[in-house]
Amino acid sequence: MAAALLLAVSQASAEDVTLRSQDGGVSLSGTLLGFDGEYYRIRSEYGELTVDASGVSCDGIACPSLTNFVAELRFSGSATIGRVLLPALIEGFALREGYRTERAALGPRVTLYRLIDETSGAPAARFRIYSTYTDEGFADLLADEADMVMALREITPREAAQAREAGLGDLTQAKWSRVLALDAMVPVVAPGNPVDQISLSGLSAVLSGKIANWTALGGPDAPVVLHLPAPRSGLAQSIEARLGRPLPEASDGAVIRHESQDALAAALAVDPFGLGIASHSETGLAKRLALTGPCGFTLDAGRRTIKTEDWPLTAPLFLYLPARRLPKIGRDFIAYTASAPAQNVIRRVGFTDQAPEEVPISDQGARLANAIAVAEGPEGLSALKRLQAELAPLNRLTTSFRFEPGSARLDAQSRANVQNLAADIEAGVFDNRRLLFAGFSDGAGPAAANLAIARKRAEAVRDAVLAEADAAELERIEIATEAFGEAMPMACDDTQWGRGANRRVEVWLH
């Protein structure tokens, strides 16, 4: 974050103030760290304190005005979020709350939104968006130069440890992050490239350097030119986390790194031998490839496959919050991002929303056809018949649950799904209905063991949702679990990505 832009903030906040109780009997002195319109936050000899402004008076040059308070919120991190998604949500929020917005560019990567009360004409808030990279967003938060982080990946263990040390709380807990929307990592090529699909194993082999010629992918006899996001980008770091190894460095003619998603998509659109991984929301004129594999299953990246996480490379877009009080307008904005109007905004600007949808089994013919194609022997067909009999009268909810690689811990999107589903149960959305948690597994190992594991996962997700929905009237809803093991794979089991997509818990409704 540019020092010049922070100078005014530093001069206004890094000043000594004294807070005195109304009777004058108690006083606290320290450095003013922030004021949210209701509470002061100061660093004193007793540590960092939060003090109710209604009970004290403030003395010192840095004391804010109580009558003309304007909330200041700073967002820093991913440009993918900062350039399109967050501005759209701010404008939608302002429209709903009766504010007028004024937008100003403070630099090539900095945008200021002023929210002005339509009735009084008084300014209510200033939202600053610093569109850089995910890791820079976390660095700004640690330096108290940002209030929220826009992230294309989960917080790393090192960043989480630093946040705890800085008194920002445990940011690995679900309550300190929000999944704003869903996106996906998709393989892309030039529109004229004859290749229309790629296997997960083939994509992994290209990224590891094991495949360097298009002939191995069903294309012409030509070298593959790999286009990738910049190493610092959240998308590149998310890909590396999924791969379990670093992406290749830039090299002449073979690997090209791009500073922005727009630049990556534009370069691929005119490179006949290029192959890249891009954000689903920012593919431009490049052609998206479907995923396939030796098991015969083909999957396209679309709104529904991303929302259900059936697409193996789904990528949530996060907003991380520190464990400190935000101004009321900031808390209202965070609440708005999960609302139905916000989901409409998210869809309109090209991202995938999280509003749950019901999908009848009649719309899932491709999944069932592939399940039949890969079923092995009488046991496999018997399992499919049981699945069909159990699920045919039900609709699938687009809310699904998947797990971190090599772990029983739910992944980030699924942890958010636990909260969202629990909130809907508490609100009575599913009253007088049957809710079935259905567990599935990959095909590695004995079928009986996979079935048992799938059942345990379904029960674990059910228990997590019910624990979160502690205010629900559960007598109004029937909740059950079932397991189908490896009966309906979403991808081939020949890669970690594919196995991860198959290890899941789906939610079905009657």
- Which CATH fold topology does 356-509 show? 60s Ribosomal Protein L30; Chain: A; (3.30.1330)
Query: CATH assignment of 184-292, given 2.40.37.20, 3.40.50.20, 1.10.760.10, 3.40.190.10?
Result: 3.40.190.10
Residue 373: predicted pLDDT: 67
- Show the tokens assigned to 112: 């200021």
What is the C-alpha radius of gyration for the chain, rounded to an integer number of angstroms? 25
Is 230 exposed, middle or buried, given 0-12, 13-18 or 19+ CB atoms closer than 10 A? middle
| 3-state DSSP percent of the chain in helix, strand and coil, to 5 | 35, 30, 35
| Per-residue pLDDT at 343 exceeds 80 | yes
CB 174 within 8 A of CB 464: no
Would the pLDDT of 18 be above 90? yes
Over range 46-58, report the average pLDDT: 89
Angle at 76 between CA 69 and CA 148, to 5 degrees: 60
Q: Where in the chain is the domain with CATH 3.30.1330.60?
A: 356-509
User: How many CB atoms are located within 10 Å of the residue 193 CB?
Assistant: 21
User: Is the pLDDT score of 383 beyond 50?
Assistant: yes
Eight-state DSSP code of residue 410: B
How far apart (Å, rounded) are the C-alpha atoms in residues 480 and 438?
9
Please name the helix (run of DSSP H) or strand (run of DSSP E) that holds residue 183, with its range, or none.
Answer: strand 177-189
pLDDT reported for residue 10: 39
pLDDT recorded at residue 245:
84
Over residues 121-151, the pLDDT tens digits come to 999 999 999 999 999 999 999 999 999 999 9
Mean pLDDT of 231-255: 86
Domain topology for 3-59 = SH3 type barrels. (2.30.30)
The predicted structure's pLDDT at residue 11: 41
Predicted pLDDT at 501 = 85
Q: What is the pLDDT of residue 15?
A: 66
Query: Which of 11-20, 146-155, 337-346, 442-451 has the weakest average pLDDT?
Result: 11-20
With bands split at pLDDT 50, 70 and 90, how would you rate the model's confidence at 2? very low
Domain with CATH 3.40.190.10 in the chain: 71-182+317-348, 184-292
Q: How does residue 377 score in pLDDT terms, banded at 50, 70 and 90? A: low
Is pLDDT at 270 greater than 70 in this prediction?
A: yes
Identify the DSSP state of 57: E
The CATH 2.30.30.520 portion of the chain extends over: 3-59
CB atoms within 10 A of CB 110: 19
- Picking from 393, 406, 404, the residue whose alpha carbon sits closest to that of residue 360 is 393
Selection from 422, 184, 141, 277 nearest residue 155 by Cα: 141
Computed over every residue of the chain, the mean pLDDT equals 89
CATH class label, 71-182+317-348: alpha beta
**In the prediction, which pLDDT does 7 show?**
38
For 147-171, the pLDDT digits (tens) are 999 999 999 999 999 999 998 999 9
pLDDT-based confidence at 116, cuts 50/70/90?
A: very high
